[in-house]
Structure 1
């Protein structure tokens, strides 16, 4: 069963068609797994091998090409008729003698005819070797970068997309709160991570959680500053600080959330950083409205945060939704993307410095008159 109605998928394809026309692209080769899901409903986790979705100008529906065994991931999840779900043989996997791109490339050429072909060159699963293999099949046909074509079509979220994100918001609130409540002197970091992981999957009585990324939770002196470390099996000790960042997913739609926790009394410096972060967060939050730019939000954050004298060089957020991040826009001074109603983004205030560590975030929707948080978790430094 697809996550959305057929009409919504076809509206998405129609928007992509309009963006293709503006970019001078007749056939678009979609490589991002998130974009494949956006256009077809595909929910397989299979992008470790070549797979594509092809959108041809004027077509109502896309075409999917997968590894043969992954047809059975597509049939229960995509809305397409089976005639538009294609595959390459299993004997094209794991051998230098045959490449999936031989089959995919010939099909692209057949579908494209003499038209201009766009390819998502920046897709994380499209390597230089993949590009070379595709070019060998297509010959000297010019390929243009179509990396932003689908991205531009999905910046504004539909009511159904927002519903999934709100469900994910309830799940991540529960998971992170329960994880923080497990923290105590002597409790292992991995047991806290296990609690969060369990709850991200178990979800709420109304909605279960989908596949997710491992929780980020750097813990302890000299480690809490590390923005992308996970957990160890070390027990918590008095003075240990954890900077949590995690997210729940429902049908690939994400709601991210961050909080900081410490065992025992916080230092005066940590309280100062906490106050700086909260002032900055509220400054940015209050600047969110339709017509404001990402740069406006960043500058409002800095106006409130800057006087505290805490160093912060990283941006304060990014768009989020079907992926984490979903690469539509960035909350930084020089991004002048104009915010519109139903844009969604992760407003994350991370302090990752040699002397200071702190993180606080929520996933926000741009509402009709201001920001709407998808979280109801208390906005505090958690002391355990």
Structure 2
């Protein structure tokens, strides 16, 4: 196979996904979907171009029509040999030709299309220039649940990614923290994720002491000291599906206050998890976790949403946030990750990936959530 394929699924699986996406577009009142290279294209087709450049590559899905992949001629052989190649009609264009004119032949000139969020602005503008009466809506707005409900195979891939991240945590807690830089621990975490099967490491947050009060600190050159609380948040892709977990450890024995804050976050994370069941609104998961922290007097220090969806990317719909009234559905997978962040002092966050089952929720991360001390 010459094309780059990033999928554990068959051509039949991808064909079924494309058909489902086209039906969803029709149900949403759209003329079709336009999908550029990125996570939506991977999920729908399994195809990733060998080089994502300024040359237009675009999947066109429309109800009642076969899927068409508009592709530069030099990329056509790879696309043809990709997993979903047999389910796609290729429409190639050569340098010097107008790719938007080629694409326009496949579209309703007055139609409204869902378009993948990561489509380059120059391509959207090119389509608008060629078809001035057409219009476009971001997929996150028009079909936010397109990838949100996972089938059983996807859930198990997420579970395997979660187990690999858990294994990485169990190993990192054995290493020496004191006297090493955050960046050293970050490299250790990345190596462990790869050792346990990740092909891609997306992030390794190591927030020690006051740096832990910044939820997205990632890593720095600060030397970790005894007495530090350390937030470890890490994840990436294994077999095309994401992991994302957070545990907060302490270097040496914690103070009474540090234990209390950690216990509050642990209780909040448990409350968020216990709120997960079919039919519950996404915002109710956020409310359940947030209430614990607010009642304990730390509400102003919980400064982000409680969770985000995960799948072929580590952040995607649905979102566990106030105002999101979308009901939970079996197969949805998302994080539950409350935290408390005390500026200039320390932070605590605990995160598991959870999937909605027929009668509740199932954790896809299973390392202990109690306070862990490290050397």
TM-score, normalised to structure 1's length? 0.85
Say yes or no: does 1:126 pair with 2:116: no
2:318 paired residue among 322, 325, 329 = 329
What does 1:32-47 correspond to in 2, within 5 Å?
A: 33-44=38-49, 46-47=51-52
Give the Cα–Cα distance (whole angstroms) in 2 for the partners of residues 69 and 186 of structure 1: 52
Give the alignment's Cα RMSD to 1 decimal. Answer: 2.6
Q: Match for residue 64 of structure 2? A: 58
What 5-or-longer segments of structure 1 have no aligned partner?
93-97
How many residues were matched structurally?
364
Task: Rate the CA distance shift 1:320–1:233 in 2: closer, same or farther, 3 A.
Answer: same
For the residues of structure 1 that align with 2:80 and 2:201, how far apart are their CA atoms? 22
Q: Which residue number in structure 2 is paired with residue 26 of structure 1?
A: 31
Q: Which has the higher contact order (CA 8 A, sep 6+)?
A: 2
Q: Does 1:278 align with 2:266?
A: yes
CA contact 2:203–2:236 (8 Å) conserved in 1: no
CA shift at 1:321, angstroms?
1.2
Over 3 Å counting, the alpha-carbon distance change for 1:195 and 1:340 in structure 2 is same
Change (3 A) 1:198 1:58: same
Deviation at 1:236, TM superposition (A): 2.2
Q: TM-score, normalised by structure 2?
A: 0.87
- Counterparts of 1:97-108 in structure 2, within 5 Å, are 102-103=98-99, 105-108=100-103
Does structure 1 residue 174 correspond to structure 2 residue 167?
A: yes
1:291-312 deviation digits (Å, cap 9, x = unpaired): 2111222222233332211132
Cα distance in structure 1, aligned partners of 2:70 and 2:174: 46
Structure 2 SS opposite 1:217: strand
Instruction: Give the Cα–Cα distance (whole angstroms) in 1 for the partners of residues 227 and 93 of structure 2.
Output: 56
Query: 1:141 — aligned with what?
Result: 133
SS of the residue 1:236 aligns to: coil
1:247-266 paired onto structure 2 within 5 Å: 247-266=235-254
Q: 1:1-384 counterparts in 2 under 5 A? A: 2-31=7-36, 33-44=38-49, 46-47=51-52, 49=54, 50-60=56-66, 62-66=67-71, 70-71=75-76, 74=79, 77-81=82-86, 84-89=89-94, 102-103=98-99, 105-114=100-109, 116-120=111-115, 123-127=117-121, 129-136=122-129, 138-148=130-140, 149=142, 151-203=144-196, 208-221=197-210, 223-311=211-299, 312-326=302-316, 328-354=317-343, 355-384=345-374
Structure whose residues are more often strand by fraction: 2
69-78 vs 183-192, greater mean Cα deviation? 69-78
The gaps in structure 2 that reach 5 residues or longer are none
CA deviations over 1:239-289 (Å, ceiling 9, x no partner): 233211111412331121001122122232221211111111111111111
**Counterpart Cα distance in 2 of 1:8 and 1:29:** 19
Separation of aligned partners in 2, 1:351 and 1:118? 41
